[in-house]
Amino acid sequence: MLTAYLDESGHDRKDFALIAGFLGNAEQWEKCEEDWIAALGSRRHLHMNSLQWSKEQRVGRLLARLGPIPHAAGLTALYAVARVADYEDLIDGTHMQKLMKGYQICVLGIVNLLMQDTSPNETFKTVFENQNEYANSVVQMHKGSRECAPDGRKRWASVEFVEKDDTVLTEPADYLAYALLQQARDPQSTRTRLCFPILQNPRYALARDHRLPEHREILRKFIWQMTEQHPNLMRSKDVP
C-alpha cells in the first residue's frame, strides 16, 4: 500500500489550479515525519501562507532545512496543474462548471498518474487536507473508480481528509504546492527562490501539466466528452 499526502494551491483563482504532494510507503513516511519534526525545531507546524515572508533570511533557513527531507526519505513528488481559462469556455455558465473546477481536474490528473505510473499490483490511498467545498466530489470520484489489481483489490483503496495540524505529513505537500505555484506565476520572484530547496528534486517526479499544448488539448477533449455524456449538466446554472 502506497500513500499520497496531497495539498492544493491556487484552486480559487483563474490562473492556475494545482495539487501536489508526495507518494511513498509506510517506512518512507516514517522517515520523513521524524526528520521533518526535527527540522522544524521550535515550530510545531509549517504553513506556507502564514510564513513571515518579509523576514527572508529566517524563512530561507527554515525552507532550506525542510526542502530536501521528503526527497531524502525516498518519497516521490507528484503534481497536477491546470489553467482553468484553457477550458472554461466549454462549460461557462452551466451546472458542469461546478463539477469541473480546477481542483477536480487536478485530482483526476493525480489519480491518473498514480494508476499509470505505479505497478498494476500496487494499491494506493490518497490523503488530502480537508476541503469542505470539494470533499464530496472527491469521494464520488473514488466511489466511481473501477480499476483493480489482479487479485481484485481496488487500486485506489481509499480517500481520506485530515484537518490542518492533525499531522505534519501534509506539510511537505503544502510546501511543494506553494513552491510550484510561485514558480508558475513568476520563476524569478523572491518566494520562488526561497522555495527552491523543495524544487531541487534529485529523483524524478510524476507530473501532469495541462498547460502544455499537448496536454491542454487532451484536457479540452476530455471536457468536451463529458459535456456530450452528461447533457443534463449543460443546463444553465441559473436553472434549478
pLDDT of residue 240: 54
All cell numbers assigned to 103: 481542483
Determine how many CB atoms are found less than 10 A away from the CB of residue 157.
Answer: 17
What percentage of residues in the chain have a pLDDT greater than 70? 95
The span from the CA of 114 to the CA of 23, in Å, is: 9
Local structure of residue 55 (DSSP, 8 states)? -
User: CA angle at residue 79 from 110 to 47, to 5 degrees?
Assistant: 115
Report the pLDDT averaged over residues 122-148.
90
Residue 94 has pLDDT above 90, yes or no: no
Q: Is 113 in contact with 52 (CB distance < 8 Å)?
A: no
C-alpha to C-alpha distances, 54 to 33, 42, 60, 175, 218, nearest whole angstrom = 28, 20, 11, 17, 40
pLDDT, tens digit, for every residue of 59-87? 999 999 999 999 999 999 999 988 887 77
Calpha distance 64→194 (Å, rounded): 8
Q: What CATH number labels 2-234?
A: 3.30.420.10
d(CA 190, CA 187) in angstroms, rounded, equals: 9
Residue 12 predicted with pLDDT over 60:
no
- pLDDT tens figures, 169-180: 999 999 999 999
pLDDT range class, residue 237, cuts 50, 70, 90:
low
215 versus 20: the higher-pLDDT residue is: 20
Instruction: Give the pLDDT of residue 10.
Output: 64
pTM of the model: 0.89
pLDDT of residue 31: 98
Please tell me the predicted confidence (pLDDT) of residue 130: 85
Lowest mean pLDDT among 90-99, 104-113, 206-215: 90-99
Q: Considering only 6-10, 98-102, 124-128, 173-177, which range has the smallest mean pLDDT? A: 98-102
